[in-house]
Amino acid sequence: MKIGFDHNKYLEEQSKYILERVNNFDKLYIEFGGKLIGDLHAKRVLPGFDENAKIKVLSHIKEKVEVVICVYAGDIERNKVRGDLGITYDMEVMRLIDDLKGYDLDVNSVVITRYEDQPAATIFINKLERRGVKVYRHRTTKGYPTDVETIVSDDGFGANPYIETTKPIVVMTAPGPNSGKLGTCLSQLYHENKMGRSAGYSKYETFPVWNLPLKHPVNIAYEAATVDLKDVNMIDSFHLEKYGETTVNYNRDIELFPVLKKIIEKITGQESMFQSPTDMGVNRVGFGIIDDDVVKDAAIQEIIRRYFKTLCEYKKGSLDKESVSRIKLIMEELGLKPEDRKVVNIARDYIKKNCDILDVSNCQAVALELEDGTMITGKFSELMNGSAAVILNAIKYLAEIQDDIHLISPVVLEPIINLKKNVLQSRKISLNAEEVMMALSISAVTNPVAQYAMKKISNLNGCQAHSTVILSKSDEQVFRKLGIDITCDSEYQSTNLYEG
């Protein structure tokens, strides 16, 4: 993989800049946008970017940092799911706490925002508190976000309980967007200033990249990733007017800035040090780009990947028609076609040659591109599905094992199939990717060839793949864990509405 981003340079620059910002205050509240851990979007559009870069930045200065996690009560109530991991927001909060502790970072508490005694949110609060996690309940703030007089009063932010913190940098993070991070930061500023302490606010949002051009593919890829949120990149007019410098931000931050500036000035009783949304940010990711051409190419591929994802999510019912129209418009503006993703035509051509049109249930093919450009294919069969087949075929190729050599013994496969069919009464008898990986690991105990092949699995990290049908959640997770970027055509393999 060609590298377009210097992770170490970014790490040093970002840590230094955050510490410089905190020097202006006794305490700095930083709103972290995007994913704190596992930022796969950034990894894809900035080749060389560490998906855990943000948390590693915090680890560099961990003695000065504590973390508060915000989650909107309504998202818990409706079981909102984090798309890439397939887990609900309440589960993601608990996963995030564990991961933060794994990096030796101090997790202060969880804040349930816009809490109105929702039953599911109340149960979640009980779970956390009974596991020793401190929880704060923040009700909907009166007048927020436009009635400044009401907001900055004891009836507004003053009605929220103060979050007790001890370190100079307080990071506000969340399992997803619109979780109430900004409101929680401002509520804390209100309480801090009432107690006579100097506290400030900043925002750490990786995308859009403020010092890249508005129409740079990296910034357009951000729009493609947020079609459901209807985010639009814009020139920061406030920054341009004040400094004569062209910078990029997104519509929500620019639209909210005048009110946000008034709120901060009302809280502190003095003119804000921020004259633009760009001023509020502490993101230095643009300074880590070392090869713009590599980054542009990667961002273009990400836009195509987002195109497929949007169409699949629309088919599943989780996105609206407007999101599909927006992603198609982005593709048209850049002159991109779905087939510009190389694995797409390979998978589609393979299915045309190998699919019996009279038996649509057998129509699934997956194409996978290895690091050296070699294309590997796999198709659905009675024994295993296309996802399992392509992974197994790729491992055999990397291990230089002939096609006619079986890696998995029938002695291992037969009991698994019998279990699925006769004991668990599963409708899907063909083994999925996870089941085949398990069977391979069992075979490796007694089969040296399978053991050798297992060592090649890590070589699949960073590969690209495409399926001619929508994958099951299980197969999606296997590809994600292997580090394979998979896209799918927006078609179901079967006409069945329920697959048990």
Place of tokens 């959640």: 473
Q: Looking at the domain assignment, is residue 240 inside a domain?
A: no
**pLDDT tens across 223-236, in order?**
999 999 888 999 99
Within this chain, do residues 270 and 402 fall inside the same structural domain, yes or no? Answer: no
pLDDT of residue 499: 61
Stretch among 27-36, 67-76, 349-358 having the lowest mean pLDDT:
349-358
Closest CA to 466 of 311, 260, 267, 257: 311
Task: Report helix, strand or coil for 170.
Answer: strand
pLDDT of the residue at 362:
61
pLDDT value of residue 359: 54
**311-335: buried (b, 16+ CB within 10 Å) or exposed (e) per residue?**
bbbbbeeebeeebbebbeebbeebe
Distance separating alpha carbons of residues 479 and 459, to the nearest angstrom = 13
pLDDT of residue 425: 80
Q: How confident is the model at residue 356 (pLDDT cuts 50, 70, 90)?
A: low
pLDDT in tens, 301-311: 999 999 999 99
Q: Is 83 a residue whose pLDDT tops 80?
A: no
Residues 278 and 400 in one domain: no
Q: Which two tokens stand for residue 123?
A: 């149960």
pLDDT value for 207: 95
- 275 lies in the same domain as 360: no
Is residue 325 in a domain? no
- Does 279 share its domain with 357? no
Residue 326's pLDDT band, with cuts at 50, 70 and 90, is very high
Is residue 275 domain-shared with residue 398, that is, in the same domain? no
What is the percentage of the chain residues whose pLDDT exceeds 90?
Answer: 79
For residue range 416-444, what is the model confidence (pLDDT) as tens digits? Answer: 888 888 888 887 788 999 999 999 999 99
Long-range contacts of 342-348 (CB under 8 A, 24+ apart): 342/369, 342/375, 342/464, 343/367, 343/368, 343/369, 343/375, 343/464, 343/465, 343/466, 343/487, 344/466, 344/487, 346/375, 346/377, 346/466, 347/377, 347/466, 347/467, 347/468, 348/468, 348/489
Q: How many domains does the chain have?
A: 2
Domain for residue 303, yes or no? no
- pLDDT at 312 (0 to 100): 96
The confidence score (pLDDT) of residue 358 equals 45
Task: Kindly state whether residue 220 falls inside one of the protein's structural domains.
Answer: no
Asked if residue 267 and residue 358 are part of one domain, the reply reads: no
CA 311 distance to own-chain centroid: 18
Residues 84 and 192 in one domain: yes
Both structure tokens of 209? 């990249």
Rounded Cα distance between 2 and 474, Å, is: 30
353 lies in the same domain as 282: no
Residue 428 lies in a domain: yes
- Tens of pLDDT, residue by residue over 238-271, are 999 999 999 999 999 999 999 999 999 999 999 9
What is the reported pLDDT for 147? Answer: 93
Between 355 and 456, the higher pLDDT residue: 456
Query: What average pLDDT does the segment 392-411 reach?
Result: 90
For 239-332, where are the E strands, in sequence order?
248-250
Q: What is the mean pLDDT of residues 280-302?
A: 96
**Is the residue at 47 inside a domain?**
yes
Tokens of 386: 């296309």
Average pLDDT along the chain: 93
Residue 361's pLDDT band (cuts 50, 70, 90): low
Range of the domain at 424: 341-488
Q: What is the mean pLDDT of residues 153-175?
A: 96
What percentage of the chain exceeds 70 in pLDDT?
A: 98
Determine, yes or no, domain membership for 202.
yes
At which of 286, 302, 333 does a domain end? 286
- Give the mean model confidence (pLDDT) for residues 49-54: 93
Instruction: State the pLDDT at residue 498.
Output: 65
Give me the CATH number covering residue 357. Answer: 3.40.140.40
Instruction: Please give the pLDDT value at position 414.
Output: 84
Residues 262 and 368 in one domain: no
- CATH no. for residue 201? 3.10.630.10
Tell whether 350 and 207 lie within a shared domain.
no
Q: State residue 47's pLDDT score.
A: 96
Asked if residue 72 has pLDDT above 80, the reply is yes
Question: Which range among 14-18, 333-337, 395-399, 495-499 shows the weakest confidence by mean pLDDT?
Answer: 495-499
Cα distance between residue 397 and residue 417, in whole Å? 26
Amino acid 495: pLDDT: 74
The predicted pLDDT at position 355 comes to: 72
Question: Does residue 277 sit in the same domain as residue 347?
Answer: no
- 262 in the same domain as 399: no
Angstrom CA distances, 395 to 388, 391, 461, stand at 11, 6, 12
| 133 part of a folded domain | yes
